[in-house]
Amino acid sequence: MSVNVSDVLHVAKLARLGVSEERLPQLVAQLNGILEHMDVLGKVDTTGVAATEGVGAAGTPLREDGGEPVPLAHPIESFAPATRDGFLIVPRLATHDDAAEETA
């Protein structure tokens, strides 16, 4: 399988990576250069083979509902790009320019 310019643009959109026009052809070529080596997997017979999923069979360990949260050695304000009144501040999403409430 191989990718074209629009595949790469779509994936870049999903990954929120701004990719400039100039870089596109090279990226497409590089990704295809990598992907061609993956085709070999298609020829492997994996009928009845379970996909690796969580290393360790005992099941995920559980913790008690309680205990102290991990403390922050320095506050959010010391590493966050923008805060106000304790909130983290980000530019408003274009779909919320009218400040309509939408729950995800």
Interaction residues for another protein, span 27-66 (CB under 8 A): 27, 30-31, 33-35, 37-38, 40-42, 44, 46, 49-66
Q: Find, among 61, 3, 57, 67, the residue nearest to 30 by Cα.
A: 3
Question: Which token pair is 75?
Answer: 């506050």
Q: Tokens 């399988």, residue?
A: 1
Residues in region 81-100 near another protein by CB under 8 A? 81-82, 84-96, 99-100
Assess 78 for contact with another protein (CB under 8 A): yes
CB of 2 to another protein, least distance (A): 11
Task: Output the smallest distance, CB 45 to another protein, in A.
Answer: 9
C-alpha 37/C-alpha 41 separation (Å) is 9
- Is 22 a binding residue for another protein by CB under 8 A? The answer is no
List the one residue out of 101, 84, 81 whose CA is nearest residue 93: 101
- Counting contacts by CB under 8 A, is residue 5 touching another protein? no
